[in-house]
Structure formats: structure tokens, C-alpha cells
Structure 1
């Protein structure tokens, strides 16, 4: 008896129409063998099309429970990415109206006819939920931003540099305020960048949703600065600094963002706690480490990271993003400085071993997310500590330096970095680090002078402390 031929099964074809029947078809690659009488053999049965009845044909329209996933999303808590999305929600519409009215009150632009020689800048609406320290929503914020990357140097901007305050300056001023029993106030200038003067002719399209009905083809000639321009930061800084100088403030020569006004104040509070607890929790939530197991130590004792440890990380962008966020967290977390400095050295080519250390740092942050700096009043004196890890880098044999400087009992400045050159001995590494610390102390001394604080400072000296053998 001839061997039965193999069957070829075609893909099931299901019609989308309810009137047609869905049929599963089995096709033979050739005719089915028969016996000598022309009938089908005993092990070969006639194959009939099998009818499949769908749920919709049976009148069943209820979803299968295992596929019934429904998520309620509060769209008012989602930041829109464009004007068309924001226009559908009244909270964001009100925010855009408030921003546009503020621009009109400031006289930010005037409408002029378009000329082909103009370098016309596009713009877009940017939406942001402004939250309080506890995470609750303070207000819905809409901002009209010019696309400054279309600007051309020498045509609609010249210089764009603007100074930024140093973190050490902020911590020192806060420590002084606590020690000298001075009140502390935090101010927010609404629409700050809209108050800067412009010395160039800058033209921009009319914003989406607010095109003038009488002059729809006109463009905006900016008379004041606006967010997104390359010179916006510089224009605002010049306007604000001139205002403070007119009030009698004096600009610091050590930090251009510090202005001092001598005035007697009364005692307000006796201590201050600086932390980034909400930022730390947001970072843990973003990296899915909010439910991770916390640990009490950052880096295992004696661990030295090398560029050749582990396999290349499959997502280097994620590595750079998380490490960059950890860098910002070190503003109030000196305990993270050394570990974050170590993982920052492999941004160009992270490996799985480096990522393991980053995850360990995140677990440590989970255990200590509410840690920070506690400033208390005390005696006005400065104490500095420095140290160096001789040839600690296993790849280049560079040393790692670190220092911390206290004003009274308050930590105001610290650093953990790799030496730029290779030291030939542990003494040379310590000596180089002592020079870096002395430079920071000299800068702080000048800053005290700008603050009109006269502290008795003895000539710089160092006392070597080492553990007993």
C-alpha cells in the first residue's frame, strides 16, 4: 500500500464579515490515494471543512476577562507635548491664556509686516506641572518658547554667556544666615526672562492659538526678551543685577551671582535642614527602584572599578541619564560624592559591572532618601579636611582627591575628583590635594570679604593625621 502523502495546512482564514463563515481549510499537495476499487483506504478518511463559530456570530460581545485591562488616566496630570493636546483641557487652556496675557502686558512684541530678509523664528508652547515639595500640584504652567536654535550669530544675537551661582556659595550663605541668626526668604520672579532688554532685532511667528485676526500674516518683532532665545539668560541677568545695584546691593567679585546688602536683621530660626528628598524619590520612581531592597553602604570596601570590568552595557544612554541625575543629588549629599565620581568616569563606555555599582547607589539612596545637610548656629571659624587615594585608579594609576570644608559645624564645600596627573608617591598625592584645598579656602576667604565678614585666619597650615598601625 502506498505511503500516505503529507498534508500541507494553510493559514486559517477568518473573514471580518459576520455574514460569511470562517472556515479552516486543509489542503493536500496531491490527490489522496485510493484502494483498487476507487474508494478511500481505511486509514484515509474524507476531510471536510471544519466550521468555526466566532463569539460575535453567537451574539457574545463581552470581552474576555483576561484581556479586559482598563486604566483610568487623569489627563489633567499629564503634561501635554503640543498645543493640540493642551487645547482639549481647560486647565492648560487657562494657563496659555494667562501666559499670553502676561506677554501682552509686558509689551513683549509688536506686530509688523513680514519681509523675506527677516530671520523668522518658530515657537512652541511648553507645558509643565509645577509641584510643591510634597508632590502636590501648585499650578499648571504654560510657557511660550522661541526656537532659539534657528538664531544666527551676528544677526539676531551676539553674546549669550550668563554667570551661574556656585553651590558652595549657596551653602555658605545659608550657613551664615543660621549662625548669624538672620531670616531667610525665597523669592520667585514671575516671567523673569520677559524683563530682559534686547539689543538686536529678533522676529518670531505669532503663537499657535493666538494669531491676530486682523493681521494674520504679520510677525512678532520682539521688544523684550523671551524664553528660548540664546541671549535670554544674559539679558535677564543684566536687568536684574542693575536693579539690585540701584537698591544698594554690592556685587561679589568671587561669585557674580552673589549680591550683598548690609542691614541689621533679627533672629528667626536656630537651624536649617537641606535635602532633596522629593528629587530622590522621583529618581527612584523613574528607575523603578522605589520598591528595591535598601542597603546601608555605598561601595564595598576595597572595590576599584576598571574600564575593562564586565561586558558592554546594552543601554549606555540609560546609564548616562541615571548617573547624571545622581550628580545633581550630590548638591546636598556629600556622602554620595565619591561613589558617583567613580561611576562618572565610565560615561563613554559603561559596562555591566559599572551598572551594578549604579544600582547599588540607588539602593543606598532608597535607604537614605531623606538625608541631607543640617545647619546649626555656632562659632565662626573654618576647618578643612583633605585626603588622597594614591594610585587608586587601576587603569591609569591616577590618585583620587577629596576635601570637605566646614564653617562652624556646617559643611559648606566638598569635592571628590581624580587627579589630572600621576603622582610618584603618596606624599606627592597628599601634597597636591592640599594645594587644591588651599585654593578653595582662598576663594572662601575672598567670599567672606565680599560678605563684609572679618574672620581671623591664621596662615595656612596642615596637620597630618593617620591611623595607628
Structure 2
């Protein structure tokens, strides 16, 4: 008696392959023997549904496959990914808000310490709330302070007011607060190197809390520290708080007024520079918000001043100047080596270019960047963030000044080509991390170099001025600036650079005068354009130059008074050429050697 197979259902059949109503959808099977793996089960039409197909049937019609191509047919498969995200360790990264920070005892202790400092300073008093009050919110901001080896030194929490809730004329008026200018910092470093003075660094804890408010400001009670007896009251601020629009100004006025009582005088040229003269002793103090540099001819007097400041403010003596505003100061036998290796390294990590391939120059000689690019960036924020960070890198890197100036000209509508140019600067910095400025002893003389690239911009044909000034052997200021008007000749472009250089020298001379120093000779300004030099010495105008009469009179008066002395220099030796255009690699490195030095034994400071 023949054996029969059990019912089988055919998967994935199309509607055209389905059996008719007379055909069974299953085939009964009473055998326990398995079907061979190579056999393909099919439905065979039969006339009697009670009969089954014998298992030994040799004739099996071929299977008709669907023409659609699928991933399975093509052998394409994708592994299922499982989320492996873990909760971040907020003892190594800053917590985003109070809710997260309050779960860690370290951050709770930091907030309690900050709140206690606010109470000691009598920063506010609680008053009943009123609908007429413009209430300012507040929030906690967290920062991990790290040691030089990258380990956590302390956890810092700061209560910050939401200044964007303030209203002009209601709870704030004037907000401007000056900060020390970069050339002033370089002048102090140069003088300290020349006289071999010790540089000291100070930090004022909770600096803004020392400023007195002249306006009436109301703030909500801080989260986590709401008074249990008066929970509905608000804080009437008596002193400034971080985040308030007028906080920097209030702190600056409080600190500078106290310095005047100690005998300091403020510089006319730079409001953040203070000078103390006591007989033959002289002390210089630089203020940048709450960071202070102090140096002088007598270390005992400097220590006494620090002690006097500590009686009024919570001043931390950080010892010898090592790390200031992202600047690293290494002490060498020849002087002070100042660089920004850590800042640039962090910048490379931020933009994920730590492993990028270095370039030999910061900007390519061709093609020239222009605004004609059509592929504007969908989100220009990363570009603007990068360019802004590169601007600060020029503090000790004059070699990237021109390149940064060029990419800054496209901030309003950057394209992908502009972003590539900005990243090229990072690639150049990656290969030159060991470069910086060496401040060493030298003569007390000012020497300036001015140059211009006539009609160098292919879009608007404006020229670019390049200026650098040396105090002795030390570069103290450098500038790459696009001229405001179109110059009709190379003489005009060079002469406008002379005028800008003369103005910079006038300001530097005023700073040096405020420091109690006097130059033995007039500053020398080197220019490689004989026509511009002749125009500065010849009082006769002609038709092609009368439209630059204002600049002419300014430079001419400086020459007549003896404030500057103009000299000719060959183009090959013109140092300012590096600030006016993109240069080939050999010439670029030749000019760089006149501005920068290399050092490979850095120690990273700060955090």
C-alpha cells in the first residue's frame, strides 16, 4: 500500500499561483518520514481531495520565482545594532543642570560653597515679591577644574543670573567694561624679560560679587537653596552677579577705584594697565576681568601689594606666571617663551582634526577665496565658531594672521570652500604646535614694518595692509587689515599702510610713556615703496595723489615732528609681506623665522 505525505502549505505564493476552489490548499500526510531537504513542496491539482500525492513522485514542476530583487536574494544583510549607551560620568564631565548635579555629593558641596560665599558677601536680601518687579531668573553653571596632568583638582559651581531677562533703563544702564589689549600684554612681557623681573599671577575668587550695583535688580531664589521660611520672596541684589549685563563694569569700577587708593595710576592709552611708582621702584599691573598679572623692579613691594589686595578681595596668589588666558609661558635662559600649544590642541580635538594631515602654509596661493561660491553652508555656526577661535590663536601666532583675516571676511555667508580654507589653518597649526614668540632682552627701541598688497582682492579690488612692530627684538603687535577704500595706485595703497602704521606707533609710544619709559630715538618705519617714501617727504601734491590728502597730512606731521623716521627696505626683507598675501612655502618660512621660534619641551598648563 503506498504511503502518503502530510498536508503542506506553500509560503509566499502570488495570487496568480493560488489554486482554484476545486484545488485543496493542503495535502494530508500520515507518514512520519521527513521530507528531503532538497525537495521543494508544491501544490499539485488533483481531482479527488481524499487522495494524496505519493511521496515517490519523480515529476516536480519547476518553481516560478517572483521577478522582484530583494536584499535577501542579493545576499545583503545588516546586523541589528543594540544600544550600548551608558550614563555619562558627571564627575568627569560637567552636568547639564541642577537635577543631574544634585545626585552627586561633590557637586552638592560645590554649590553649597558657592552659596555660602554669596551669603558672606551679602550679595542680596530677601524681599516680598511684587507684580511691578522685573524678576531675573538664575541657574547653576558647573565647571571641572583640572590640574596640569589632566586630573580633577576641584569642582566649581557658579550661580549665574539670566541677564537676558533684564530690561534696559529698568535694571541696567551702562555695560561697557575695558579689557587689556594684546599688545600691552606683550610689552609687559618684553620689559620683564629685558629687566629680568619676576612675573606673578593673581586670581580673584568670585570677582563679580565685589562690584556694587547702582540699579535695582530683583532675582529669583536659586534652585536648591530656597528659603524655607520665605519661599515666595525674591532676592534684592546689592552686588553684581555673574550673568548680569552690568556685572563686568561694576567689578572693574570697584577694583580700579581700590587700586587708586594704593597709589596706582591708570594708563591713558590702555585703561586696564596700572602703574605704581615709589621712588626708584616701579610696579606694573594688568587686569583682564578677574585675571591679574603683576610685575615690578622690587619683588618685596610686589608681595606687599598682593597682601594689601588680599585684605579687600579674595585673591589667590598663583605664583609665577605660567598659564594666562590660554597663553603658556615657559621660562628659558634667553627669556620667556610664550605659546598656545594646549589651546590649539584643544581646538583640534573640538573640530575632530587631531589626526589631520599637516600643511606647510596656512593658506594656499591659489585659488583665491571669493564670495562667488554658490554652495553656502546650511549651518554656518561651526564655521563661525572655528574662525572666532582662530582669531584668538593669533595672539602668539602672527604667521596665521593673514589667513585668519581672509576667512573672517566670509562670516556672513560662508561656503564649503571657505570652511576648507579655515580647516587648512588648523592643519597648518597641527604641524607647528611647537612654535611661539620668544621675549628676550634687547634695546628699548621701536621698529615698524609696513606693506600693502595693491588691489589684492579679486572681488572688490581693495588692498590689504600688513603691519608689524618690534620692541627691541620682540614682536609686540602685528596686523593684517583690508583697506576701507579702493586705492587707485600702489603708491596710495602703500601710503595708507604707512598711515595705519604711524597711528599704531603713536599709540604704542603713549603706552610706553605711561609706563614711565622714554625712547632714546624716534621709531623707524620700514617701507619697500619708494614712491610712498617720496610722498611722505615731498610737500608737493599732484593729481594722482590729492585724494589721499588726509593720510598725507597725518604721516607728514609725524615725520616733521620727529615721531617717526621712514626708511626704505627691499621687498625680499620686508617682514610685513607675510601679512598681506598668501606666500609660497620657501618665502613664508623665511619670514616666519623672523617672527617665531620653536620649542619642543613644552609643559601643558591649566585645564
Specify the TM-score bucket, using the shorter chain as the normaliser: 0.7 to 0.9
Aligned-partner Cα distance in 2 for 1:71–1:150: 36
Is the Cα contact below 8 Å between 1:183 and 1:266 reproduced in 2? no
Q: The residue matched to 1:175 in structure 2 has which SS? A: helix
Q: The residue matched to 1:282 in structure 2 has which SS? A: helix
1:163 alignment counterpart: 178
Aligned-partner Cα distance in 2 for 1:349–1:144: 36
Q: Residues 159, 467 of structure 1: CA spacing in aligned structure 2 closer, same or farther, 3 A cutoff?
A: closer
Q: The residue matched to 2:337 in structure 1 has which SS? A: strand
1:292 alignment counterpart: 356
The correspondence for 1:91, drawn from 106, 112, 130, is 106
Aligned-partner Cα distance in 2 for 1:40–1:196: 90
Q: Residues 71, 113 of structure 1: CA spacing in aligned structure 2 closer, same or farther, 3 A cutoff?
A: closer
Is it true that 1:400 corresponds to 2:464 in the alignment?
yes
Aligned-partner Cα distance in 2 for 1:40–1:130: 75
Aligned-partner Cα distance in 2 for 1:27–1:216: 72
Aligned-partner Cα distance in 1 for 2:375–2:470: 41
The correspondence for 1:195, drawn from 185, 190, 210, is 210
- Which structure's CA Rg is the greater one? 2
2:502 alignment counterpart: 438
Is it true that 1:33 corresponds to 2:97 in the alignment?
no
Aligned-partner Cα distance in 1 for 2:20–2:176: 92
Is it true that 1:414 corresponds to 2:478 in the alignment?
yes
- TM-superposed deviation, 1:302: 5.2
The correspondence for 2:442, drawn from 378, 384, 387, is 378
Q: Deviations over 1:192-251 (max 9, x none)?
A: 000001112211111000011111111111111111111111110110001110000010
1:255 alignment counterpart: 270
- TM-superposed deviation, 1:423: 0.5
| Normalised TM-score (structure 1) | 0.85
Question: What's the C-alpha RMSD, in Å, of the aligned pairs?
Answer: 2.6
Count of residue correspondences: 427
Q: The residue matched to 1:163 in structure 2 has which SS? A: coil
- TM-superposed deviation, 1:83: 0.6
Is the Cα contact below 8 Å between 1:193 and 1:233 reproduced in 2? yes
Is it true that 1:464 corresponds to 2:564 in the alignment?
no
Q: Residues 70, 113 of structure 1: CA spacing in aligned structure 2 closer, same or farther, 3 A cutoff?
A: closer
Is it true that 1:181 corresponds to 2:196 in the alignment?
yes
Q: Residues 160, 66 of structure 1: CA spacing in aligned structure 2 closer, same or farther, 3 A cutoff?
A: closer
Is the Cα contact below 8 Å between 1:135 and 1:278 reproduced in 2? no
Q: Deviations over 1:174-202 (max 9, x none)?
A: 11111122211110000000000111221
Aligned-partner Cα distance in 2 for 1:188–1:38: 93
Aligned-partner Cα distance in 2 for 1:457–1:71: 67
2:420 alignment counterpart: 356
- TM-superposed deviation, 1:278: 1.2
Is it true that 1:308 corresponds to 2:323 in the alignment?
no
Aligned-partner Cα distance in 1 for 2:508–2:360: 33
Q: The residue matched to 1:221 in structure 2 has which SS? A: strand
Q: The residue matched to 2:565 in structure 1 has which SS? A: coil
1:278 alignment counterpart: 342
The correspondence for 1:126, drawn from 133, 136, 141, is 141
User: Which stretches in structure 2 are left out of the alignment for 5+ residues?
Assistant: 1-9, 27-40, 46-78, 283-296, 300-319, 321-330, 523-561, 573-607
2:552 alignment counterpart: none
Aligned-partner Cα distance in 1 for 2:409–2:85: 44
Q: Deviations over 1:274-318 (max 9, x none)?
A: 111111111100111001111222223354211124632343221
- TM-superposed deviation, 1:107: 0.7
Is the Cα contact below 8 Å between 1:119 and 1:151 reproduced in 2? yes
- TM-superposed deviation, 1:156: 1.4
Aligned-partner Cα distance in 2 for 1:377–1:29: 94
Aligned-partner Cα distance in 2 for 1:45–1:213: 85
Is the Cα contact below 8 Å between 1:402 and 1:415 reproduced in 2? yes
Is the Cα contact below 8 Å between 1:389 and 1:401 reproduced in 2? yes
- TM-superposed deviation, 1:137: 3.1
Q: The residue matched to 1:100 in structure 2 has which SS? A: helix
Aligned-partner Cα distance in 2 for 1:352–1:78: 32
Q: Residues 113, 314 of structure 1: CA spacing in aligned structure 2 closer, same or farther, 3 A cutoff?
A: closer
1:329 alignment counterpart: 393
Aligned-partner Cα distance in 2 for 1:392–1:331: 25
Q: Residues 136, 326 of structure 1: CA spacing in aligned structure 2 closer, same or farther, 3 A cutoff?
A: farther
- TM-superposed deviation, 1:72: 7.8
- TM-superposed deviation, 1:95: 1.0
Q: The residue matched to 1:187 in structure 2 has which SS? A: strand
Q: Residues 85, 44 of structure 1: CA spacing in aligned structure 2 closer, same or farther, 3 A cutoff?
A: same
1:11 alignment counterpart: none
Q: The residue matched to 1:77 in structure 2 has which SS? A: coil
User: Which stretches in structure 1 are left out of the alignment for 5+ residues?
Assistant: 1-23, 47-63
- TM-superposed deviation, 1:397: 0.3
Q: Residues 39, 350 of structure 1: CA spacing in aligned structure 2 closer, same or farther, 3 A cutoff?
A: same
Q: Residues 85, 68 of structure 1: CA spacing in aligned structure 2 closer, same or farther, 3 A cutoff?
A: closer
